[in-house]
Amino acid sequence: MPSLNIQRNDRVQVIAGSDRGKQGRVLRVIPESSKVLVEHVRIVKKNVRPNPQKNIKGGIAEQEAPIHVSNVMLVCPNCGPTRIGHKFEGDKKVRVCRKCDQTIENKKK
């Protein structure tokens, strides 16, 4: 399984598609298809059928749809959207901003 540079809770900017320029937090990473779910990005409307047993009202729900990781860039706290490099801190591999060399924390919990 390929490991992705983007991780859950990262801040990313969309660089392609109709949501280009939008920023959001990564809600979910789907390594199998190299896709990510980004908060408030690629919102799709979904019809929801009422289900009184689960107390769900019918209507239209809005939901994020996954987008490919190649369509997003990680946002560096210093310089904005950036490419990611890697370096070793001791024996730990960390992600760094290619522009300013800042370590980009892994906020995944």
Considering the complex, state which of residue 32 and residue 89 has its C-beta at the smaller distance from Zn ion: 89
CB 77, min distance to Zn ion, A: 7
Nearest-approach distance from CB 78 to Zn ion, in angstroms: 4
Cα 12 from Cα 78, distance rounded (Å): 13
Choice between 41 and 97, CB closer to Zn ion: 97
Residues 6+ apart with CB under 8 A from 103: 89, 94, 95, 96
Binding residues (CB under 5 A) for Zn ion: these are 76, 78-79, 97, 99-100, 102
Q: Closer CB to Zn ion, residue 35 or residue 95? A: 95
Quick one: which of 72, 75, 71 has its CA closest to 98?
A: 75
